[in-house]
Amino acid sequence: MRSFSESYREAGVDITAGYEGVKLMSAHVKRTMIPGVVSDIGGFGGLFAPDLSGMREPVLVSGTDGVGTKQRIAQLLDKHDTVGIDCVAMCVNDIICCGAKPIFFLDYIAIGKNVPEKVATLVSGVAEGCVQAGCALIGGETAEHPGTMAPEDYDLAGFAVGIVDKPKVIDHSATRPGDIILALPSSGIHSNGYSLVRKVFDVEHTDLNVYSGELGQTLGEALLTPTKIYVKPVLACMAAANIRGISHITGGGFYENLPRCLPAGLTARIEKASIRTQPIFHLLQRMGDISDHDMFNTYNMGVGMAVIVAKSDADKALSAFHAAGCSAYIIGEIVPGAERVVLC
């Protein structure tokens, strides 16, 4: 007998739509399969057998996050194939800061009404993010929430697990005065500060499809640009140089995130003029009349990740990043001081 509940459907939950969604997303999930995947989607748990060869003390590193209110832009534009990349990026970019290679990912979608094609499109973005990060999408959950969410609304979150040999964990303790700070360019606003973005641009009452000469694209395209995933460039740099610290510049901007990879008594001195800031930030600051401090305390301002290396390793690190397709550049150095971050 097939699984079906007329009573449950009358209450707002169509379980057959869930089955159809799983069928539609299967092709996307298959793109992410890497060695180590033991199970297929649809079971009660995702199974993964990590390759521990060459590791003396394997350590698992986990991270979880969501897309936040950026997904409202996707809903307004009815474009749902990229926010999944954001979801993966926000998790894997955190765990790579420890030097951990992501190995698998799980997603969770809460949605007002389960439209299988829409859910499959959301998962296609998650799968693309996993491909970019080199990890497998081994499971997830879609939950229909009638009466608590509007039919077109959804919330997307995820969970990543990575692995690193304990002697190779980047713990920031080796950071010294004179070390160089490298910027890994962002793709734009990424996935933070969108409550302020939505207020400044009044997105509920603005045509997001109008082309902007200043941006070189529509406002909607600029706001929906997916978060850059830094896993592969950072792994390439780790193989070529000694990374002493990594900071993922997310919510809280420079002032909150750079101190997270600094030992006490050290300051990150950033040359503001060296930062390559995209037009979307200038437009946002001007239209919102936002101070420099608040911009750098909320947004990445063009720097998605900051990497600290010894001065003697700077050229090797830059070469490794460039060879991996990441146009890293120098934005500052580590100096003694009590103030954690100085922009000059």
Q: Are residues 159 and 247 in the same domain?
A: no
For residue 1, being part of any structural domain is answered with no
Nearest Cα residue to 307 out of 339, 261, 344, 240? 261
For residue 253, being part of any structural domain is answered with yes
Q: Are residues 56 and 129 in the same domain?
A: yes
Compute how many other C-beta atoms are within 10 angstroms of the C-beta atom of residue 4. 11
Q: Are residues 112 and 226 in the same domain?
A: no
For residue 217, being part of any structural domain is answered with yes
- pTM given for the model: 0.94
Q: What is the pLDDT of residue 39?
A: 74
Q: Are residues 132 and 202 in the same domain?
A: no
Considering 147, 168, 189, which residue would you say is the last residue of a domain?
A: 168
Q: What is the pLDDT of residue 8?
A: 54
Pairing of strands 329-336, 180-185: antiparallel
Q: What is the pLDDT of residue 235?
A: 98
Tokens linked to 79: 């474009």
Rounded to an integer, what distance in angstroms lies between the CA atom of residue 275 and that of residue 273?
A: 6
- Kindly compute the dihedral angle of the four CA atoms of residues 310, 312, 315, 319, in this order, to the nearest 10 degrees: -70
For residue 62, being part of any structural domain is answered with yes
Q: What is the pLDDT of residue 16?
A: 63
Count of H-run helices and E-run strands, the chain: 12, 12
Q: Are residues 190 and 147 in the same domain?
A: no
Q: Are residues 98 and 48 in the same domain?
A: yes
Q: Are residues 145 and 247 in the same domain?
A: no
CA within 13 Å, CB half, 319: 8
Q: What is the 3-state secondary structure (H, E, C) of 189-228?
A: CCCCCHHHHHHHHCHHHCCCCCEECCCCEEHHHHHHCCCC
Domain count, the chain: 2
Q: Are 62 and 104 contacting, i.e. CB atoms less than 8 angstroms apart?
A: no
CA within 13 Å, CB half, 238: 20
Tokens linked to 167: 């002697």
Q: What is the CA radius of gyration of the chain?
A: 21
Under-50 pLDDT residues of the chain = 1
Q: Are residues 95 and 215 in the same domain?
A: no
Q: What is the pLDDT of residue 1?
A: 46
Tokens linked to 164: 């690193």
Element (H, E) at 65: strand 58-66
Nearest Cα residue to 237 out of 337, 305, 288? 305
